[in-house]
Amino acid sequence: MIHTFLSRNEALFLYQESDGFLFNSDTHFLYDFITRFNPKGTLLDIGAGCGILGLLIARDYPVLLTQIDKQPYNTALNTQNARVNRIESAIITGDFLTYPFKQQFDLIVTNPPYYHDGVSKSENPFLHASRYNSHLPPDRLIARAATLLAPRGRLILCYDPGQLQILSRALSEAKLTIEDLRFVHGTASKPASLVMLHARKNSRAVTKIHPPLIHFERDGMTQEVKKIYQTTRTYSIKCKIT
């Protein structure tokens, strides 16, 4: 049963476990990056959590959505959020690395756990599984995704920019070409805090480096970031699952 703490508002209504991992700006920025490539066809959202990324795409683009997460409480939230927002999604509780999918996908997206072993770790098991890449190592994530992509299929994800070399090597080994990169910076003077990349199967394209996305300026959020939030129109409802 889901116990609601907040009332609904005009937005994409998203229930989230109050003690679990709460979505943040990464997902909004990744959604904006994905929209540059006109999503369509079959879509797989890996590590979907409460469902925000896949549901946003399915709300705004003609896709057939499948979402997978190995934590049952996440798929319970995802199911609730798809129902409340009247969005169709095939929602799977399972391990992406081993689940026996019966189809290939035109587009695979993910905001995966990307904290590495060198950072301090939460004792909360829900947060641990959602944050640390030991639960979904980048090389195994990319290798499995490559086997599930249709010819000319796309993989779009965000990650820790400090691990870009690891991603690049894994993508090359999986025969996926990075076609687009965009870095996110907290302010114009700070190092990148996030990298978003678009890779494609059977591509010979050269990599396009997009202008950076700057989150904050002196007076608050930049105009570009404000526009992203105006487009996503999400509203978080914290709850308890019992």
How far apart are the C-alpha atoms of 68 and 95, rounded to whole Å?
A: 8
* Domain residue limits at 74: 2-241
Closest CA to 168 of 159, 241, 17, 59: 159
Could you tell me the two tokens for 68? Answer: 């997978």
The answer to pTM > 0.75 is: yes
Q: What is the pLDDT of residue 132?
A: 66
Tens digit of pLDDT for each residue in 99-125? 999 999 999 999 998 566 555 544 555
Report the distance separating Cα 32 and Cα 225, nearest Å: 10
Q: How many residues does the chain have?
A: 242
* Cβ 81 vs Cβ 50: under 8 Å: yes
Nearest CA-CA partner of 159 in 126, 148, 145, 13? 145
Q: What are phi and psi of 12, to 5 degrees?
A: -80, 115
Distance CA 177, CA 94 (A): 28
Do residues 205 and 44 make contact, with C-beta atoms less than 8 angstroms apart? no
Assign 28 a pLDDT band (cuts: 50, 70, 90).
very high
Which CATH number do you get for residue 212?
3.40.50.150
Q: How many domains does the chain have?
A: 1
Average pLDDT over residues 40-69: 97
Residue 118 DSSP class: T
Q: How far apart are CA 185 and CA 167, in angstroms?
A: 19
